[in-house]
Chain A
Amino acid sequence: MSLTLQHLPAPGERLAHSVSQKPFDPQAAETLTDAQRKVYLASQTTLMWWKFKRHRLAVISGVVILAIYFMAAIAEFLAPYNYEKRHSDFIRMPPQSVHLFHEGSFVGPFTYGTIYNLNLENLKREYTEDRTTIHKLRFFCEGDSYRFWGLIEGNRHLVCAGEGGTLFLLGTDRLGRDMLSRILIGARISLTIGLIGITISFVLGIVIGGLAGYYGGLFDLVVQRAIEIIQSLPHIPIWLALASIMPPHWSPLVVYFGITVILGLMDWTGLARSVRSKLLSLREEDYVLAAQLMGARTPRIVFRHLVPGFMSHLIASATITIPTMILGETALSFLGLGLRPPITSWGVMLNEAQNINVVALYPWLITPVIPVVLVILAFNFLGDGLRDAADPYH
């Protein structure tokens, strides 16, 4: 419709009358192009997925986390040794390296033999590579027997040392157990503790926070104070106090569940708070009034209509609290009050690395910290991405 200056009629004259000859489509303004249709009609889940994909680190972290959980699930197969097997000839052996070339010629992955020597001056065990013997690695081999998930007998491993050789990629501990195998098995405990703990705190947080937010009044007041009280107690001392209640004769597995419950019980307050504040704003919405008028009961309104409205937020904030639990387990086990051997977790392994001699003499004993850091970073990035995605209309 824009007319350039040259086409303007002289002052006082009438404008040229113009009518489009095209057929008139009354819906023209409402018709969407394909690209628009894709965006406008996308479901909330799709929008979240798009937004999530933009946070590249979060996507990578998600993949890493899935991979780590998968590795933990098939840990027995991936581990080169049975994690409990003691190699008494190779105590506190430093990590071995895998070579490809022997004296300039290609052999394929192999390890050299090891010469063990006890230094009689400082009683230190010294291991040197024996450059004359070669042990080619075997893949999909039969090695130490294990019970897969404690149920199925098996002895198949992804990789084993060559006949007569050893494969300690991360060294061995004070009993001669393979560190890598222990880290892989330990992942199972360390990673599930966060999940179970978060489930407990999630349920508590939603139920308590949900009811407090919806009912308000006295109940809300009491819950608010309770949350304040629990948050006012320092975490580690309370974990300690609760952990010391567990009788020493409990089996390690029961202790494991006890610890998760303790971690969960102290952690629900943050979630409950955010559920409550969300509900306080949502319960004024019209659709809640509509549900009330139709005779829906409170639990139905809260859990069917309100909670799904901010579930994504909850999941995001839960993801961010999983690392706290993993670190909590590490800290408790480090103090010797969490899990105990024979259960193997990263915290239990780090417990053996607690004095400065270890850092000075056997630094490979602190390698379990690498998966800890990796998992916590990944969960944090994933949580960040989820939180950004939880509000796709922003």
Chain B
Amino acid sequence: MIKYLLRRIAIMVPTLLVTSILIFTIMRLPPTDYFETYVAELQAQGERADLGRIEFLRKEYGLDQPAVTQYFRWVGGFFKGDFGYSFEYDLPVSAIVGERLGLTILLAFCTILLTWIIAFPIGIYSATHQYSWGDYGLTFVGLLGIAIPHFLLALVMMYFANVWFGLSIGGLMDPKYFNQPMSWEKAQSILAHLWIPVLIIGAGGTGSMIRKIRANLLDELQKQYVVTAKAKGLPPGRALRKYPLRMSLNFFISHIGDILPTLVSGAELTAVVLSLQTTGPLLLRALQSQDMFLAGSFLMFLALLTVIGTLISDIALAFLDPRIRLQGEATK
């Protein structure tokens, strides 16, 4: 087990290294950089840019140096807790992400909880009643959640939430509370706003979760040990719960790996439409304005979380399933 663990962790290092190179390359690919776009924008508005200051900033952040040097500066900063500097906000990256990260995690946690609570019973029902009307109906509803683009659902829900319940449009709280210390009113405001994004983001997740549970359980239900259990007279409920359901949950554990990054990135598009104060819109905005350190460090952070998530789920799987451990092969 320890050997397996060590090897798993050793593999993480080159993975992260390559990821960082990849992200850096993508960030550097656009032919212009943030400052050029910025100057062009200022000029378009008829204003004069302070070229001296921009030149200074370029030097300060090493944008005038060759790409390789820039890369090592950027990566080297990580080890010192320096994630770079956002040009657009004129603040260090870590300072901007601040409160948004907490809200994003709260939102994602509620969404995942809702997804599981809804998807589990439905998925099990669909699998045990394959091709029944109930199965068709529930699968259809689940698919509908996948098929409707989230951002549109968000728009429409936002409208009706405003018309029917008089909620202020968008956001995770009343704008006056943002960046304020936590208080009872603020918490209430957050709770009142939270359910709309939770429902919208949850809709798609629930749909795909239902399908996965259904497919995995169906695979297990066809196996011979289920037939044996039934033939030996195990009541149907126990015959389902005791073996096939547990086996089909393996996928669920490997799913943990995907959960960590979504916890922090959230559903970007929905967040943009609803103007949620989460990290998603921040990342998209940074990508659009080529605020490369903010975007790059954030992507890197997401990648790190995915790798850690995969590690956790691999360890959990190896722990639960000796076949994986002994084979020494991490499967997903």
Contact = CB atoms under 8 A, between A and B. Distances in A.
Interface of A: 54-55, 57, 225-226, 228-229, 231-234, 236-238, 240-242, 244-245, 247, 273, 277, 323, 327, 330-331, 334-335, 337, 350, 353-356, 358-360, 366, 369, 372-373, 376-377, 380-381, 384, 394
A327 B302 contact: no
Contacts of A376: 143, 146-147
30 contacts: A54-B131, A57-B136, A225-B14, A226-B18, A228-B15, A229-B15, A229-B18, A229-B22, A232-B306, A233-B19, A233-B22, A236-B268, A237-B265, A237-B283, A237-B295, A241-B26, A241-B295, A244-B287, A277-B331, A335-B272, A350-B149, A354-B273, A355-B155, A356-B155, A356-B169, A359-B155, A373-B147, A373-B148, A377-B143, A394-B222
B120 interface: no
Interface string B4-37: 0000000100110011001100110111000000
B97 interface: no
B167 interface: no
B159 interface: yes
Contacts of A369: 148-149, 152
B310 interface: yes
A312 to B, nearest CB: 16
B288 interface: yes
A241 B148 contact: no
A229 B147 contact: no
Nearest to B160: A359
Interface in B122-166: 131, 136, 139-140, 143-144, 146-149, 151-152, 155-156, 158-159, 162
B27 to A, nearest CB: 7
A299 B184 CA distance: 67
B290 interface: yes
A349 to B, nearest CB: 11
Contacts of B290: 244
B267 to A, nearest CB: 9
A359 B159 CA distance: 7
Given A225-B15, A232-B303, A240 B148 contact: no
B147 A380 contact: yes
B103 interface: no
A330 B147 contact: no
A225 B295 contact: no
A330 B158 CA distance: 20
B269 interface: yes
Contacts of A372: 147, 149
Contacts of B131: 54-55
Contact of A380 (B143, B156, B269): B143
Contacts of B136: 57
Given A331-B151, A334-B269, A229 B29 contact: no
Contacts of B29: 241-242, 245
B152 A366 contact: yes
Interface residues of B, number: 51
B121 to A, nearest CB: 20
A245 B268 CA distance: 20
Contacts of A273: 332
A376 B306 CA distance: 28
B307 interface: yes
Contact of A228 (B148, B158, B288, B310): B310
Best-surrounded residue of B27, B139, B152, B299 (most CB of chain A within 10 A): B152
Contacts of A337: 288
B288 A244 contact: yes
B27 A356 contact: no
A234 B265 contact: yes
B261 interface: yes
Nearest to A377: B147
B30 A244 contact: yes
A327 B153 CA distance: 13
Contact of B152 (A231, A238, A335, A350): A350
A331 B154 CA distance: 13
Contacts of A366: 152, 155-156
A350 to B, nearest CB: 7
Contacts of B158: 356, 359
B149 A334 contact: yes
Interface in B279-321: 283-284, 287-288, 290, 295, 299, 302-303, 306-307, 310
B269 A236 contact: yes
B21 to A, nearest CB: 10
Q: Which 5 A-B pairs have the closest CB atoms?
A: A232-B306, A376-B147, A359-B159, A373-B147, A245-B29
Contact of B159 (A55, A350, A360, A394): A360
Contacts of B303: 229, 232-233
Given A354-B273, A359-B159, A241 B19 contact: no
Given A241-B27, A369-B152, A232 B302 contact: yes
A337 B23 CA distance: 19
Contacts of B169: 356
A239 B223 CA distance: 41
Nearest to B136: A57
B284 A247 contact: no
Contact of B287 (A231, A240, A373): A240
Contacts of A373: 144, 147-148
Contacts of B273: 354
A356 B19 CA distance: 38
B284 A240 contact: yes
A377 B149 CA distance: 12
Contacts of A356: 155, 158-159, 162, 169
A277 B31 CA distance: 40
Contacts of B26: 238, 241-242
B146 A323 contact: yes
Contacts of A240: 284, 287-288
Contacts of A350: 149, 152
Contacts of B19: 229, 232-233
Given A225-B14, A377-B147, 16 more contacts: A225-B11, A229-B18, A229-B303, A232-B15, A232-B302, A237-B287, A238-B26, A245-B30, A247-B31, A350-B149, A356-B155, A356-B158, A356-B159, A359-B158, A366-B155, A380-B146
